[in-house]
Amino acid sequence: KFEIEDLKIILRTILMENEEDYLSDNLIYIDRNQKINFNNLIQASSYEEIQEVLKELHYAEILDEFAEQYQQNKNLFQIEMTLDFHYFSRLNDLAAEFSNKDQKYFNKIIGTQIDLLNIQWIYRIKKYYNLSSGEILNYIIPFHFKITREELRKMSQVDNPNNLVKQISYAPYQRLLEKAVEDVNNIFERFFLNYIFMQLQQIKSESFFTISNILAYLYLREYELRDIITIIEGIRYSLPDDRIKNFLIRKEV
């Protein structure tokens, strides 16, 4: 999980922002990987150089798969989608060995994340990119919890992203998407992460003596860490307190 999030930071920073100091200060895990020369990584300046440094990692094939496409459109979105797909696919395989009780909570933890990530992806694709329904369905994560495959298909076919909510039957997701779309601060992702955070708190309080309780705890700590990083970054860029608060996952939406 952390390695994939670090890889996203690497791609965005080197290819789009070129802030070497930011990269050195904000990677969580990948710099500890003994298969990587970290000095070469932070000095990389192109997609090809990133590929070379990360060639020993198990998801290097994803970078290889999208190399030509990136050179054509300079777009990281589909790479990030595929990395998330890779992560959730591995989690789903691991969960097959869980007990029935753990399966129940695992499905809620991971299923909710996948549902909301798919909604977010489809919304972004509809708003910013020109992909066909078939292309969208090929890229989204092929697992679901409260959203059906048919609903995903209908969502992939709408013309206006603001009409996505009409294709969702699960009321909590409907309300969440409506609030996210209407947000004047345009911090779309935070609404989804805050909802997941609240779900994790509930699961942690009722799933004693299960693997899922540990999983919920780890995700809650991750969100706390992300909020701490957000505050530090906000101070670094001299953002006003109210503006920083708008980015915090744990702030009620």
CA 120 to chain centre: 9
CB 64 within 8 Å of CB 52: no
Question: Per-residue confidence at 18, pLDDT binned at 50, 70, 90?
Answer: low
**Domain boundaries in the chain?**
1-75, 99-253
Between helices 188-206 and 211-236, what is the axis angle to 10°?
Answer: 140
Question: Per-residue confidence at 58, pLDDT binned at 50, 70, 90?
Answer: confident
Question: What are the tens digits of pLDDT across the range 145-181?
Answer: 999 999 999 999 999 998 999 999 999 999 999 999 8
Q: Say what the alpha-carbon torsion angle 221, 224, 226, 231 is, to the nearest 10 degrees.
A: -160
| Token pair of 242 as six digits | 């109210």
Question: What are the tens digits of pLDDT across the range 84-141?
Answer: 988 898 888 888 888 898 999 999 999 999 999 999 999 999 988 888 999 999 888 8
CB 141 within 8 Å of CB 114: yes
Lowest average pLDDT, out of 23-32, 82-91, 138-147, goes to 23-32
